[in-house]
Amino acid sequence: MLSPDRLSAGAMLLRRAPREDMALIIRAGGLVIRPPRMDDHLAWAKARDDSRAFLAPWEPIWPSDDLTRGAFRRRLTRYDLEIRRDEAYPFLVFLEDNRTPVGGLTLGNVRRGVSQTASLGYWMAQSHAGRGIMTSAVLAICHFGFLKLNLHRIEAACLPENGPSIRLLEKAGFLPEGRARQYLCIAGEWRDHLLFARLAQDLPGRPAPAARGGRSAAEGEQTNG
């Protein structure tokens, strides 16, 4: 597992890339975490397709054209709009020396005003599961959410039988908050989910951020199965 000690604010480099979509690049703990680009399509589609049986029980049903180039282009158009509107921040996860994505995660459903909250969702390629990579990525994205997006709270949900996801969230500092009945439609069925959250105050020396203007809610849900 990649050491959480390497994920302190001082060890994380965050910068805006010189691209029109203002893509954010996070380097932390041997990982590169950035929004997807069109030239990621083939590697992304292969990673998802190779892990289809591994991921399908924990995700909504995939559209029939989900892995096509056209669908990926539409996905990027939506992502670009969501980033510009401060509604969601989607990322792919790469090992530092490799251009093939090993997973993805999103801070979505960003709510401002008196909430300052986002929902976390993530997926991991089967070939890289169980190595601590996504735990490190979640820690890095929490730093980003709290320190750069000024969030107060990051929420996550997973199916009660998804032990690896529960352990990941616990390792990343999320605390259980209860159970939501028929919370999300996963694999074609409305399923109960366990709810978790982490607060900005959970970062050492980090006070709660002040409320700011903006939307009270935004469309979109994330799921971790």
What pLDDT is attached to residue 202?
85
Phi, psi of 222 (to 5 degrees): -115, 150
In CATH terms, the fold of domain 4-202 is: Aminopeptidase (3.40.630)
Do 161 and 30 meet the contact criterion of CB atoms below 8 Å apart?
A: no
Rounded CA-CA distance 206/183 in Å is: 31
- pLDDT of 209 above 70: no
Q: Is 199 exposed, middle or buried (0-12, 13-18, 19+ CB in 10 A)?
A: middle
- pTM of the prediction? 0.82
Nearest to 9 by CA among 174, 207, 173, 204: 204
DSSP assigned state of 147: I
- pLDDT for the residue numbered 16: 34
> Which residues are bridge partners to 120 per DSSP?
107
The DSSP 8-state label assigned to residue 99 in this structure reads -
Element (H, E) at 106: strand 101-111
Give percent of the chain with pLDDT exceeding 70: 80
Q: Are 106 and 222 in contact (CB under 8 A)?
A: yes
Give the start-to-end residue ranges of the domains of the chain: 4-202
Convert the pLDDT of each residue in 75-99 to its tens digit: 999 999 999 999 999 999 999 988 8
pLDDT digits 0-9 by tens, 18-77? 333 444 899 998 999 999 999 999 999 999 999 999 999 999 999 999 999 999 999 999
3-state SS, 38-51, equals HHHHHHHHHHHHHC
**Angle subtended at Cα 195 by Cα 193 and Cα 201, rounded to the nearest 5 degrees:** 165
Q: What percent of the chain has a predicted confidence (pLDDT) above 90?
A: 76
Helices (H) and strands (E) in the chain, counts: 5, 9
Neighbours of 213 (CB within 10 A): 7
Mean pLDDT in the chain?
86
